[in-house]
Each structure stands twice: as structure tokens, then as C-alpha cells.
Amino acid sequence: MDGAVKRVPVKTPGGAYDVVVGTGTLPLIAEKRDMLERDTFALVVNETVLGLHGDFIRRCFGGFRNFQSYVMPDGEEHKSYRHAEQAFDWLLESGISRRSTIVAIGGGVTGDFAGYLAALYMRGVSIIHVPTTLLAMVDSSVGGKVAVNLSAGKNIVGAFHQPEIVLADVDFLRTLPDNELRNGLAEAVKHAFIGEESLYALFDANDYDSIKSPEILAEVVYLSARFKSSIVERDEREGGVRAILNFGHTVGHAIESLLEYRGISHGEAVSLGMAAELELSVRAGLLDGAHAGRCVRLLERYGLCTRREGLDADGLMRHMKFDKKTSGGTAHFALLSGTGEPVYDRAVPDDLVRGVLIDVFAAGG
């Protein structure tokens, strides 16, 4: 076992657990098996991860008396309500009981889907997250949001279901493609902008090549999980401050939805969204332009896009009106008022938003 393992405690009304971060943390699952004294585990494992890391995963679970595996196909389209029904049938046919534990091994799609199964199966069974993408390590595995998609929209049906433990083993990231690494970096940079100063300093002191070392990635995951934990502990169910985690997402989701999720990754959309919302923060009189400029240059240093031509501002405005964060026809934003000083649930007049969207996107910047 590698010595460099760090633990982030997360304490919420829905459950207390550790996020265990480092290299070689998956073997710690054996400890948990003894603690849980449960006799059956259902592994919900992403097919790509199984292909790349199957031997390692089988070794870690080899000592378990009874485990069943469900292979989760690749792709957001499988995180669906329809697919969940099939998976519930599989859990039942496989003898998974109320005393069993589901273990999600994969990215955010697998974690959200398996977490949703765990929240509902037999009125709730326990879940362990083993995130294998950077995005899942820094964001989706922490905080208990689980959901599946309907054809009408993403994450429409879901729950808050906190895990027993999160085992974030950065060894998995060795096989992660660059575009997926950038998706995770976008969310980690978001944490740096909205409040985690040591993470901001770490990003500031590195670049895209140096950040890819396992030690530095482990620190990115640790600092991100620590920051997200501090927010979720204050507001588990997003009644207030948790909304700051939506920084960059109001515009980001509108971009994804306008482009029908084609030709753009979530990380690219969030990064473009952060660039637009930084500018909006400046024009709303909250943020100093020089600081916004530093943030934009930081995004660019990590190959995260901050400009894109030809996105129709009115189209984006229409998509924002359908967003979960819209109320009374006005889009609400998480904005920055300085380093680590986010303002959440801020209604911004349409003309101010449209002006930013035209300048950042329609004209190509």
C-alpha cells in the first residue's frame, strides 16, 4: 500500500464517510468489507474500465466471498430511467438483498447510475464509489447527488444518497484520455475559482504537462474533494450555498443543450461557461476585470476553451430559460465577486446576459 493516502471526511445529515485519495487506494476495499460485514456485493463496472483494469479489479475483490458484476456500457445514453429498470431486475435475479452493497466503478455516468439504483433498490442499499475519471474523483462521487436521465432531459429523476466511502485511486487516471482529463480539470479549476485558494495556487504553479503527474493529480483530487465536502457539509440538499458549485454551469448547460450535446464535451462547455460568467461578474460590478483576465488565462494554460464562434446568443438565452436554475423567467447565476468569493442565486437582467453572450460567443471574441 502506498503511504501517500489522504482522507477527506464528509459529514452530512444523510451520512458520514471518507473520501480516500491516493495511489493504490482500491485495495482498501478489503478493510471496508470487514467493517460492513455484508455478504453480497454488486459491482456496477464500466465496460471500458473493466477492459483496461479488469485484472486489478478482480484482484481487489478476489477475497470477497460473494460478488456479482454488472457491466455498464459506455455512454451517457445508458444513464437512463429505462436502463435502470433492467438493472433493478438484474439486482433481484442476482440475489442482491437489503444487506448488500453496490460498488460503482467508473466515471460519473456509472457513479450516478449505480447511486440511483442504490438509492431506490429495496428502499435503499449502501453504495461505495470507486471513481475512475478525474471528473468523478473531483466532483460526482462526492456529495451524494445521484440521478438518471429521461428523454426529456438530463438528471431529471434522482435522489441524494451519500456513499459509505469513496475510494479515489489516481492510478486509474493513467489510462484516461486527454479530453476526459480536461473535463475533470474544468471542474477542479471551478473549485479553485470559487473558493479553494490552495488549489488556485497549485494550478497557478503548474501547467497541463506538469499537472499530469500522479502526485499532483492526487493533490488536485484531495483539495477538490476537501472543498466540495466543506460546501456539502453546510448544505447537503442545495437549499443555499451548494448552488455556488453551479459556477460556469448556467451558460455551460445552455451551450450543451443548444448544440444538442454534439461536438462539445461537458468540460469544454463548463469552461466556456466560466469564461462568460467571469465576464458577467465583471459587468455586474462584482469582479475586478484584471482578476477575471487572470482566471481566463489560467483556463487557457490548461487547454480549456474560453472563446467559441457562432453560438447564437438568443438561442442560448432560450435554453437558459429551461434550466433548473431559472425562476420567474430570469436566469439565476453563481457569480464571482473576487478570489474565492462566489455569489449564488443572483438574478441578472436579460440585456446584460445577452450582451456578454454576444461578445464572448456570437462574434467569436
- What is the number of the residue whose Cβ is closest to ligand GLY? 245
Contacts of 353 (CB under 8 A, 6+ apart): 280, 317, 320, 331
Catalytic residue list contains 6: no
Catalytic residue among 180, 187, 256, 279: 187
The residues binding ligand NAD (CB under 6 A) are 46, 48-49, 52, 74, 76, 79, 106-110, 112, 132-133, 135-136, 139-140, 143, 145, 154-155, 172, 175-176, 180, 183
Angle, vertex CA 177, rays to CA 115 and CA 187, nearest 5:
55
Catalytic residue list contains 249: yes
Q: Which is nearer to ligand NAD, 196 or 279 (CB)?
A: 196
Tell me how far, at minimum, the Cβ of 133 lies from ligand NAD, in Å.
3
Q: Which is nearer to ligand NAD, 40 or 246 (CB)?
A: 246
Chosen from ligand NAD, ligand GLY, none, partner binding at 273 (C-beta under 5 to 8 Å by type): none
Tell me how far, at minimum, the Cβ of 249 lies from ligand NAD, in Å.
9
- The distance of Cα 161 from the centroid of its chain, to the nearest Å, equals 15
Catalytic residue among 129, 161, 228, 319: 228
277 interacts with ligand GLY by CB under 6 A = no
Nearest Cα residue to 158 out of 89, 111, 126: 111
Chosen from ligand NAD, ligand GLY, none, partner binding at 136 (C-beta under 5 to 8 Å by type): ligand NAD
Q: Which is nearer to ligand GLY, 33 or 228 (CB)?
A: 228
Catalytic residue among 6, 32, 53, 145: 145
Positions in 78-117 near ligand GLY (CB under 6 A) = none
Catalytic residue list contains 161: no
139 interacts with ligand GLY by CB under 6 A = yes
CA distance linking residue 26 with residue 57, whole number of Å: 8
When binding is defined by CB under 6 A, the residue of 6, 33, 38, 145 that contacts ligand GLY is: 145
Half-sphere exposure of residue 5: CA atoms within 13 angstroms, side-chain side? 18
CA distance linking residue 225 with residue 359, whole number of Å: 34
143 interacts with ligand GLY by CB under 6 A = yes
Tell me how far, at minimum, the Cβ of 66 lies from ligand NAD, in Å.
26
Catalytic residue list contains 190: no
Catalytic residue among 164, 236, 238, 256: 238
Site size toward ligand GLY, by CB under 6 A = 6
Nearest Cα residue to 348 out of 336, 360, 361, 333: 333
Catalytic residue among 249, 308, 319, 332: 249
Interhelix angle 266-283/178-194, rounded to 10 degrees, is 30
Chosen from ligand GLY, ligand NAD, none, partner binding at 79 (C-beta under 5 to 8 Å by type): ligand NAD
Tell me how far, at minimum, the Cβ of 46 lies from ligand NAD, in Å.
5
Burial of 261 (0-12, 13-18, 19+ CB in 10 A): middle
- List beta partners, residue 198: none
At residue 263, what is the residue type?
G
Q: Name the segment binding ligand GLY (CB under 6 A); options: 30-38, 66-74, 237-245, 307-315.
A: 237-245
Interface with ligand GLY (CB under 6 A): 139, 143, 145, 238, 242, 245
Instruction: Provide the annotated active-site residues.
Output: 123, 145, 187, 228, 238, 242, 246, 249, 253, 266
